[in-house]
Amino acid sequence: MLDFTEASLKRVLTRYNVALEKALTPEEAAEEIYPKDELIYPIAKAIFEGEEDDVIEGLQAAIDAGKDPIALIDDALMVGMGVVIRLYDEGVIFLPNVMMSADAMLEGIEYCKENSGAAPKTKGTIVCHVAEGDVHDIGKNIVTALLRANGYNVVDLGRDVPSEEVLAAVKKEKPLMLTGTALMTTTMYAFKDVNDKLLENGVKIPFVCGGGAVNQDFVSQFTLGIYGEEAADAPKIADAILAGTTDVAELREKFHKH
Amino acid sequence: MAAKRYTSMAYASADEMTFGVAKYPVKAGLGLEIGAGYTIPEVNYAPRPEAGASKEKLVREYERITTDIMERMVQVGFPAVILETEHVQQMSNNPSWGAEVAHAQKTIMEKYHDEYGIKCALRHTIGDIRENREFMQLRGDKYSVFLEAFEECAKAGADLLSVESMGGKEIFDYAILRNDIAGMLYAIGCLGSIDMEMVWTDISNIAKKTGTVSAGDTDCAQANTAMFIGGGLLNKNLAHTIAVLARAISAPRSLVAYESGAVGPGKDCGYENVIIKAITGMPMTTEGKTSTCAHSDVMGNLIMECCDCWSNESVEYHGEFGGTTVQCWAESLAYDCALMNTALETKNDKVLRDLLMLSDRYRDPQAYVLAYDNAYRVGQAIVKDGENIYLRAKNAAVECCNIVSEGAAGKLELSRFETNALADAKAALDALPDDMDKFMDDCLTKYKSEVKVFLPENYGL
């Protein structure tokens, strides 16, 4: 069978992911940025490792030592998740690690709520949905996990959501932004319908759309549309809105890549 | 009819396989014989979104698409073409819509066949509409509409019947985002295979009844989801060593179609089709460098190595500088086929096959495993325990790990992340039982509690 020599192979292709790999292992990189507090450290580490039982154990130890359960959400769980998100953004860890960490974080938040009875404060509410007629929701599930991991309260409307239902949820929740995902060109037309219904009702919030066959040109056609190419763009857009960039044109300028 | 499991390979060695030649060619449509010594472009397209507004608009859109493709084929002198219509949901949910589209397309194709003698066939890929907003409903009310869509399209002019069925997807979507290898095996290898047997037994009966071809499935819903999440070399969403495991496990799942009466050509986006061709000897469609209109991949040349039909996956119908999109992509596909057919006619097919394969062999672990020699090995691992859907899927996964490890000891470069993910996957596979009943029971308990949209009754469990 034909084959390359080592030298000839290099003239045909380059595995840039190998060539550019970071020197630190994910564990080493995480270790460098964990909080040093002896009660918080094990919780943050357990979040990074996605170990739900260890998260609960760490939270219990911190509560026993006098920490306020609700304060632990921000001071321990979100700090641990911050380590995960930072390393994901830097390309040190991959999405499944984030998903497992997010599962552990959500379990931790529930535990804190149970032990306090109070409701935690979030960075803000975001409504997420999959376009009407579309039942493919893995993209939406990634978006909601990343938003929650970044401290947002997510109202997940699920898949195949009628425009009227999206409008009703937006009116009720008054979110920072709305997200819509679709796999197919034939269902992404529902985004325009949602956009029009929002405008008819005087609601002007950023409507971040992405997924499958959705593209920037299409999303730019409707007034509130902002294209999110990657699921990881969603929390970045939300952060920008929270920081005061609410104008659709400005958000497009900042986040449209093409 | 119970599935007739494969326990041996169609080819005595990997080197026997090449493009354009299948051990069991398939006659279809207007003068075509697929896998009989020549490759055929298979053009796939999607209507513009606004065309779905009414049946009339949709039929008219497909008439334009069909005419454009047939016209370009004869203008540039290509001898054969397959058109694949992947249903938009309206066409499968309303079988009469799909049937009218099939009839309109076939009428145009017949005209070109009669006038120019161009050999052609029409594939209709029915949408897997078996779910509602909350849950998959694989055996519920929608199943009869789903089957009706096949029958109506077959009666109206479709020659090749296909689907991208979704059995197991609810578990897979959960598992793939958590590096859960057992979950991937359960979803694709077990639940997917169970559903495939039901679906393909029924589709094959419809094909028999209507004199059409039961062509085959693809694990688009799962293995391609893994490939797309994996993305390019710099994407950080999934290790490519995990994505290729999903692919290896998808082969025994997609094989079930051929064990339940399908005869090929397997559907384009089944990158597992090279493994399936090695096992069944049936013709296969693949897609790669000429499907960049739909998605990127890391094996664009390699995946052409043993194809019988060569596809562009899908392109939205609209204008380009060189004509409409379907004309441009049809022409590109047909030129690729002309090159392969020239290689076949001049007995240079194995040279071209090996050039295509080698140009991507070390680009990525996914490509490495699908290089025809390695794909053949995965096939051997599957048929070794061909009667047991769990064990053969596990064998495929284990052999896939072995192949990547061997490659990494040579010229296949892996990142540390890919290497670690592979080691974790291997350890997870080693920890699995050999007993299918135990595996199924364990998974049923676990995923019933962890995945709220999982309904075991969808699989008769």
B152: pLDDT strictly greater than 90: yes
Highest-pLDDT range among A186-195, B130-139, B357-366? B357-366
Residue A117 is predicted with a pLDDT of 81
Mean pLDDT of chain A: 93
* Contact (CB<8Å) B173/A141: yes
Question: B238, B244 in Cβ contact below 8 A?
Answer: no
* Contact (CB<8Å) A185/B358: no
Burial class (CB in 10 A: 0-12, 13-18, 19+), B218: buried
Q: Chain B residues with CB inside 8 Å of A135's CB?
A: 131-133
Taking the Cβ of residue A13 and every Cβ of chain B, the question of whether any pair is shorter than 8 Å is answered with yes
A235: pLDDT strictly greater than 90: yes
Residue A103 is predicted with a pLDDT of 93
Peptide bond into B456 cis (omega under 30): no
Report the range of poorest mean pLDDT among A228-232, B109-113, B375-379, B431-435.
A228-232
Phi, psi dihedrals of residue A74, rounded to the nearest 5°: -75, -40
> How close A99 gets to chain B, by Cα (Å)?
6
Instruction: Return the residue in B91, B180, B269, B417 with the most chain A beta carbons within 10 A, the one to mutate for interface testing.
Output: B417
Instruction: Return the residue in A20, A100, A138 with the most chain B beta carbons within 10 A, the one to mutate for interface testing.
Output: A138
Which of B134, B177, B362 has the CB atom closest to A95's CB atom?
B177
Residue A136 is predicted with a pLDDT of 87
pLDDT band at B9 (very low <50, low <70, confident <90, very high): very high
* pTM for the predicted model, two decimal places: 0.94
Q: Is B322 helix (H, G, I), strand (E, B) or coil?
A: coil
> How close A67 gets to chain B, by Cα (Å)?
31
Q: Is A207 helix (H, G, I), strand (E, B) or coil?
A: strand
pLDDT, average across residues B57-86: 98
Report the range of poorest mean pLDDT among A91-95, B119-123, B249-253, B389-393.
A91-95
pLDDT, average across residues A200-212: 95
pLDDT band at A213 (very low <50, low <70, confident <90, very high): confident
Helix H or strand E encompassing B305: none
Residue A117: how many other CB atoms lie within 10 Å: 8
Which of A2, A15, A213 has the CB atom closest to B413's CB atom?
A15
Which of A9, A141, A213 has the CB atom closest to B411's CB atom?
A9
Which of B234, B238, B358 has the CB atom closest to A2's CB atom?
B358
Q: What whole-number percentage of chain B has pLDDT above 70?
A: 100
Helix H or strand E encompassing B2: none
* Three-state secondary structure of B185-231: HHHHHHHHHHHHHHHHHHHHHHHHHHCCEEEEECCHHHHHHHHHHHC
* Contact (CB<8Å) B173/A99: no
Taking the Cβ of residue A158 and every Cβ of chain B, the question of whether any pair is shorter than 8 Å is answered with yes
Q: Chain A residues with CB inside 8 Å of B417's CB?
A: 17, 21, 26, 94
Residue B392 is predicted with a pLDDT of 98
B159: pLDDT strictly greater than 80: yes
Residue A176 is predicted with a pLDDT of 97
Helix spans in B305-364 (H): 325-345, 349-361
Helix spans in B50-192 (H): 55-76, 89-93, 95-116, 142-156, 169-176, 181-184
Q: Which amino acid is at B24?
A: Y
Mean pLDDT of chain B: 97
> Cα separation of B157 and B110, whole Å?
10
B379: pLDDT strictly greater than 70: yes
What is the ipTM metric for this complex? 0.90
pLDDT tens sequence across B246-279: 999 999 999 999 999 999 999 999 999 999 999 9
Burial class (CB in 10 A: 0-12, 13-18, 19+), B431: exposed
> Cα separation of A83 and A96, whole Å?
15
Residue B89 is predicted with a pLDDT of 87
pLDDT tens sequence across B24-50: 999 999 999 999 999 999 999 999 988
* Contact (CB<8Å) A186/B373: no
> Cα separation of B40 and B36, whole Å?
10
Question: A237, A146 in Cβ contact below 8 A?
Answer: no
Chains A, B: CB pairs < 8 Å = 106
Phi, psi dihedrals of residue B239, rounded to the nearest 5°: -65, 135
pLDDT, average across residues B230-239: 92
Q: Chain A residues with CB inside 8 Å of B178's CB?
A: 96, 99-100, 103
pLDDT, average across residues B101-130: 97
From chain A residues 57-116, the ones with a CB under 8 A of any chain B CB are 88, 91, 93-96, 99-100, 103
> Cα separation of B410 and B403, whole Å?
11
Phi, psi dihedrals of residue B98, rounded to the nearest 5°: -60, -40
Q: Is A68 helix (H, G, I), strand (E, B) or coil?
A: coil
Taking the Cβ of residue A220 and every Cβ of chain B, the question of whether any pair is shorter than 8 Å is answered with no
pLDDT band at B1 (very low <50, low <70, confident <90, very high): low
Helix H or strand E encompassing B302: none
* Contact (CB<8Å) B177/A142: yes
Q: What whole-number percentage of chain A has pLDDT above 90?
A: 82
Question: B365, B406 in Cβ contact below 8 A?
Answer: no
